[in-house]
Amino acid sequence: MNKKAYFLKIFKKAEKKYSKSTKRLAGEGWDKPWKTLITTILSAQSRDETTIPIAEALFKRHSTLEKLANAKYIDVFQILKSINYNKTKTKNVIAAAKYILKNFKGKIPDNIENLTEIPGVGRKTANLVLAEVHKKDSITIDTHCHRLLNVLGLVKTKTPHKTELELMKIAPKKYWSKINRIFVLWGKDVPGRDKNKILKKLEE
C-alpha cells in the first residue's frame, strides 16, 4: 500500500465533509495563548462539550495567569469538580500557571521541549499549542486520531506518540496542523473500530 497516497485520499474526503463544521473543540477560539494551554490540559479524557463551559467559568473567576497561579486549590477545585480527574487537573493548572510565570515570564513557549516541562502538559497539549497559538506545523494526536489511523491501517501503533511519529512520515507537512480537527470531528461522529462504518461516514 502507498500510505502517502492512501492518507491523502482519506484526508481529502474527511476534509471535504468536516471542514465546514462550526463545532468548537476545546483548544480552539481562546483570546489568550495561556487559556488555550490550560483548556487543553483540562480536556484530557473529557468531552469538549464538558470542558469548554468549565474552562470559561475558570477564566471568569481567574482572569489572568497571575490570578490562576495565586488561586487557592479549593477555589479552583470547586470550578473543576465535575470534570474527569478533577483533583489532578486542579493541581496541574495552578502549577502550570506558576511554572509559566516563573520560567517563561508569562509567555507560552514555542517549542515542544519547553512546553512539555510545564506541569500537566504532554505531547498532545504541546502540539496543539504549537499549531493553535504559534501556527507551527505539528501533529496533535488524541484518542480519536489514534483510533481512526490504526483502524484505517495507516499506522500500526500502540501509543499516540508512536502514531504521531509514524504519521510524520506519511502526511505532507502542510496538512499536519489540520489533521487533529478533521479527525476529531470524524471520530466523534463514528465511534468504534468498524472500518467499513468509519469509511462509510465520509460518503454520507
| Residues 108-118 pLDDT 10s | 999 999 999 99
Q: Does domain 33-132 have CATH number 3.30.565.10?
A: no
Q: Does the annotation mark 124 as catalytic? A: yes
Of 134, 135, 136, 108, the residue nearest 41 (C-alpha): 108
The Cα–Cα gap between 18 and 48 comes to 16
3-22+139-201 and 33-132 agree in CATH topology: no
The Cα–Cα gap between 134 and 146 comes to 23
- The x, y and z cell numbers of residue 31, run together, are 483570546
Tens-place pLDDT, residues 157-202: 999 999 999 999 999 999 999 999 999 999 999 999 999 999 999 9
Domain segments of the chain as ranges: 3-22+139-201, 33-132
Q: Exactly one of 20, 124, 162, 197 is catalytic; name it.
A: 124
- The x, y and z cell numbers of residue 42, run together, are 483540562
The Cα–Cα gap between 202 and 204 comes to 6
> Confidence band (pLDDT; 50, 70, 90) for 1?
confident
Q: For 152-187, give the DSSP string.
A: TTS---SSHHHHHHHHHHHS-GGGHHHHHHHHHHHH
For the full predicted model, state whether its pTM sits above 0.85: yes
CATH class of 3-22+139-201: mainly alpha
Task: Give the list of residues 6+ apart from residue 162 with CB closer than 8 angstroms, or none.
Answer: 155
